[in-house]
């Protein structure tokens, strides 16, 4: 932006304009992106995994055996991203697959012993990262932040198109 543009007097149209840096969805996305990038530096260097692999690993560490679909639903990742992450984690011997006898089209995924060891190393580091991040918020404001994030998440889920329409590649409009 040129200095001339930055110094001009706003008119009525400017006051109605969407200012990206003040737009809540944008601000939440920037915050999420920066936090995710900072955290990923911890596990990417040490374990050579990216964000999708991290999410699969942590989800399986938390819940145990799950289908890829359940992992995607929980971690809000598209099925192709989950599939690629699982494939990489399988090649690295961090995740194992076993057939679902009730539905042979899907499999149950779980951490291997090595995967569980990685999870057990990473979990305390991630929790320390989260504590360190949260220390920037006054202790008296933390409960309000948690309530606000919960409400924003719930409202966003109501406003979002159904996940089945997204998973099938169809979006409204």
Q: What is the pLDDT along the chain (173 residues), one digit of tens a residue?
A: 555 555 666 665 666 799 999 999 999 999 999 999 999 998 998 899 999 999 999 999 999 999 999 999 999 999 999 999 999 999 999 999 999 888 878 899 999 999 999 999 999 999 999 999 999 999 999 999 999 999 999 999 899 875 444 444 443 43
Encode pLDDT of 23-43 as tens digits.
999 999 999 999 999 999 989
Residues near 61 by Cβ (< 8 Å), separated by ≥ 6?
111, 115, 116, 119, 120, 123
- In angstroms, the CA 57 to CA 78 distance is 16
- In angstroms, the CA 71 to CA 79 distance is 9
Look at the domain 38-157 and name its fold.
Arc Repressor Mutant, subunit A (1.10.10)
Show me where the domains of the chain are located. Answer: 38-157
pLDDT at 171: 38
């Amino acid at each position: 932006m040129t200095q001339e543009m930055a110094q001009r007097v706003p008119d009525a149209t400017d006051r109605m304009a969407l200012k990206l840096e003040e737009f809540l969805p944008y601000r939440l996305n920037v915050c999420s992106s920066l936090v995710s990038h900072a955290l990923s530096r911890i596990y990417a260097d040490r374990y050579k995994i990216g964000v999708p692999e991290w999410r699969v690993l942590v989800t399986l560490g938390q819940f145990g055996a799950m289908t890829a679909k359940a992992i995607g639903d929980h971690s809000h990742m598209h099925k192709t991203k989950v599939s690629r992450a699982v494939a990489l984690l399988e090649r690295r011997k961090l995740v194992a697959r076993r057939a679902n006898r009730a539905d042979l089209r899907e499999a149950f995924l779980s951490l291997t012993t090595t995967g569980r060891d990685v999870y057990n190393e990473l979990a305390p580091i991630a929790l320390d990262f989260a504590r360190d991040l949260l220390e920037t918020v006054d202790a008296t404001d933390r409960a309000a932040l948690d309530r606000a994030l919960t409400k924003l998440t719930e409202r966003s889920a109501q406003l979002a198109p159904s996940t089945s329409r997204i998973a099938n590649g169809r979006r409204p409009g």
